[in-house]
DNA sequence: ATATCGAAAATTGTCGACAATATAATCCTT
DNA sequence: AAGGATTATATTGTCGACAATTTTCGATAT
């Protein structure tokens, strides 16, 4: 199932979460080597649990591993971010299509409520929206797809990579109001049970987001 | 990178491949429990490497694991197959779109050559096509996307699950000639560098495939 | 006979030690 | 002194043993 409500029970779980947090938030820099012995002392667990934690990070594509050599945190690159967004566009587009078909009326009502709440925040000039609000919005639609493969791929894998890019490249720009309108249209399509339109709008929404980020990246590297 | 050319170097690699093969080909039945001790004696390795192999199978969504309880082979269900094909439609559609943009002229020429070879086989009544030929075709387009995330998701994860379903549900039906025409149109779109059309055709191709399988499943369960 | 509680067995989680491999340092040759 | 081979060091891979948890089985009470 892989809903992130499940609390960590084993030491490997906790170490995995700690490590991921440290990597995603940049305390362990991207591209750096992950020494099993070092992490073992740092987190006060045996090498075996560190190995398992690293192994899971590998399946999230957050670290890369070579046999007999070791694991490194993936290095962030503009190309990598673009590739990531292409996958995201594809999968979240499908999620929106399926959500239009499978979400219950109650879930759609909740989604509209969430949107209204965001509207108030945008109106008041709160930029809180971009951070957690955007995530929450996308997350609900992903769950609404009711497709466990899709849910797992997005929430366990891609989501954290995207966040890693956002945090480490300092993506916290504007694009609040236009994104809100896009969200509104997506919800409308879902409310109308128009899966095809919902997919199209979601894909464009993510494409815009990608373009926006690319713009910042290039302008930064040039000036 | 995760190209499957890389030969296994470590014992965990080999055990992972053996285990996956046994599961995908049905020698270890779906839904059954994976006892670490049992597998440890069966493959003549320590429990640690069995654990690592299972851990990797978990990240492929081939086994499910519960803390302090153990791992089970995923159980196949019609719903699971449908979910899988929805993800596949989404990702391979994007792969076709990107392939139209990123494949070199040489690669496209090779793809046409492959298609001609398939045409000869179909003409001669060989049904070899459906098995390896289809995989080869899709595989080249996936690689042609040049998107490492996409490649990894499809070839490491989804591909083997699809094969597991195919083998265990005995999917080796006809649908040879119509599939060939679909392949032909996809290659034409890629040759014309029309990514949008390539994506659309690939998605329809996979949708047809899904419907075909659903048809067989329902007719089988009814008699 | 059924249900509940508790002990025993089996299974997974964790650990430290050893083996195999890769990396670094040293020595030898030219 | 530079390059290559060789030894030394460090890191990862593998193993068996112990701890913690779950499951099984049996005893007891209702």
pLDDT at A3 over 60: no
Task: Give the pair of three-digit tokens for residue A127.
Answer: 């930029």
pLDDT averaged over every residue in chain A = 90
Give every CB contact of residue B114 below 8 A, 6+ residues apart in sequence.
Answer: B133, B136, B137, B140
- A104 burial (CB, 10 Å; 0-12 / 13-18 / 19+) is exposed
The whole-number pLDDT of residue A220 equals 63
The whole-number pLDDT of residue A5 equals 53
Phi, psi of A209 (to 5 degrees): -55, -45
Q: What whole-number distance in Å separates Cα of residue B26 and Cα of residue B169? A: 10
Q: A175-180: which pairs have CB atoms within 8 A and are 24 or more residues apart?
A: A175/A130, A175/A208, A175/A209, A175/A212, A176/A122, A176/A127, A176/A129, A176/A130, A177/A122, A178/A208, A179/A129, A179/A130, A179/A134, A179/A205, A179/A208, A179/A209, A180/A118, A180/A119, A180/A122, A180/A129
Its ipTM equals 0.91
Give every CB contact of residue A202 below 8 A, 6+ residues apart in sequence.
Answer: A92, A93, A95, A96, A141, A186
Test A67 with B13 for CB contact under 8 angstroms.
yes
Residues 192-221 of B with CB under 8 A from A: none
The CATH code for residues A78-222 is 1.20.120.530
Q: What is the pLDDT of residues A39-60, one digit of tens each?
A: 999 999 999 999 999 999 999 9
Under a CB-based contact definition with an 8 Å cutoff, are residues A145 and A151 in contact? yes
The larger pLDDT score, comparing residue B136 to residue A18, is at A18
Test A59 with B58 for CB contact under 8 angstroms.
yes
Q: Is B135 helix (H, G, I), strand (E, B) or coil?
A: helix
**What secondary structure does DSSP assign to A101-142, as a single string?**
HH--HHHHHHHHHHHHHHHHHHHTT--HIIIIIHHHHHHHHH
Parse chain B into domains and list their residue ranges. 11-73, 78-222
Span A184-213, average pLDDT: 95
pLDDT above 70: percentage of residues in chain A: 89
Q: Which residue is nearest to nucleotide D21 (CA to C1')?
A: B68
The whole-number pLDDT of residue A176 equals 67
Q: What letter does residue B153 receive in the DSSP assignment?
A: I
Query: pLDDT below 70 — which residues of chain B?
Result: 1-6, 124-131, 172-177, 220-223
The set of strand D positions with any atom below 7 Å of a protein CB reads 11-17, 21-23
Q: Is B74 helix (H, G, I), strand (E, B) or coil?
A: coil
Under a CB-based contact definition with an 8 Å cutoff, are residues B112 and B187 in contact? yes
What is the least distance, in Å, from the CA of A128 to any CA of chain B? 30
State whether residue A86 sits within 8 Å of chain B by CB: yes
The whole-number pLDDT of residue B173 equals 61
pLDDT above 90: percentage of residues in chain B: 72
Question: In the Cβ-directed half-sphere of A8, how many Cα atoms lie within 13 Å?
Answer: 10
Comparing CB atoms, the residue among B10, B67, B148 nearest residue A10 is B67
Q: What whole-number distance in Å separates Cα of residue B167 and Cα of residue B150? A: 24
Q: What whole-number distance in Å separates Cα of residue B145 and Cα of residue A109? A: 39
Q: What whole-number distance in Å separates Cα of residue B103 and Cα of residue B141? A: 8
- Residue B40's alpha-carbon distances to B12, B65, B72, B144, in angstroms, are 11, 17, 16, 39
pLDDT averaged over every residue in chain B = 90
**pTM of the predicted structure, to 2 decimals:** 0.92
Q: What is the pLDDT of residues A145-164, one digit of tens each?
A: 999 999 999 999 999 999 99
The whole-number pLDDT of residue A223 equals 47
Which ranges in chain B belong to alpha helices (H)?
Answer: 11-24, 36-42, 47-59, 78-102, 105-123, 128, 134-144, 148-151, 159-168, 176-191, 195-222
- Which fold, A11-73? Arc Repressor Mutant, subunit A (1.10.10)
Test A90 with B94 for CB contact under 8 angstroms.
yes
Q: B123-129: which pairs have CB atoms within 8 A and are 24 or more residues apart?
A: B127/B172, B127/B174, B127/B176, B129/B176, B129/B179, B129/B180
Give every CB contact of residue A76 below 8 A, 6+ residues apart in sequence.
Answer: A30, A31, A164, A165, A168, A169
The whole-number pLDDT of residue A214 equals 83
Give every CB contact of residue A14 below 8 A, 6+ residues apart in sequence.
Answer: A8
Which residues on chain B are in Cβ contact (under 8 Å) with A72? none
Under a CB-based contact definition with an 8 Å cutoff, are residues A96 and A102 in contact? no
The larger pLDDT score, comparing residue A131 to residue A195, is at A195
Q: What whole-number distance in Å separates Cα of residue A189 and Cα of residue A186? A: 5
Under a CB-based contact definition with an 8 Å cutoff, are residues B198 and B101 in contact? no
What is the least distance, in Å, from the CA of B115 to any CA of chain A? 27
């Amino acid at each position: 199932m892989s809903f992130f409500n499940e609390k960590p029970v084993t030491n490997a779980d906790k170490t995995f979460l700690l490590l991921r947090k440290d990597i995603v938030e940049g305390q362990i820099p991207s591209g750096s080597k992950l020494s099993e012995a070092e992490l073992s002392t740092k987190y006060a667990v045996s090498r075996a649990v560190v190995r398992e934690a690293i192994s899971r990070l590998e399946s999230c594509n957050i670290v890369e591993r070579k046999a007999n050599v070791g694991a490194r945190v993936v290095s962030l690159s503009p190309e990598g971010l673009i590739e990531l967004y292409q996958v995201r566009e594809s999968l979240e587009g499908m999620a929106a299509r399926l959500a239009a078909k499978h979400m219950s009326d109650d879930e759609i009502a909740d989604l509209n409520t969430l949107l209204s709440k965001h509207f108030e925040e945008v109106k008041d000039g709160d930029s809180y929206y971009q951070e957690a609000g955007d995530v929450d919005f996308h997350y609900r639609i992903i769950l609404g797809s009711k497709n466990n493969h899709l849910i797992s791929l997005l929430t366990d894998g891609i989501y954290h990579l995207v966040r890693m890019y956002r945090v480490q490249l300092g993506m916290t720009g504007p694009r609040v109001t236009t994104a809100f309108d896009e969200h509104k249209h997506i919800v409308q399509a879902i409310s109308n049970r128009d899966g095809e339109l919902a997919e199209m709008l979601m894909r464009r929404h993510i494409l815009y987001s990608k373009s926006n980020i690319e713009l910042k990246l290039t302008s930064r590297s040039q000036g």
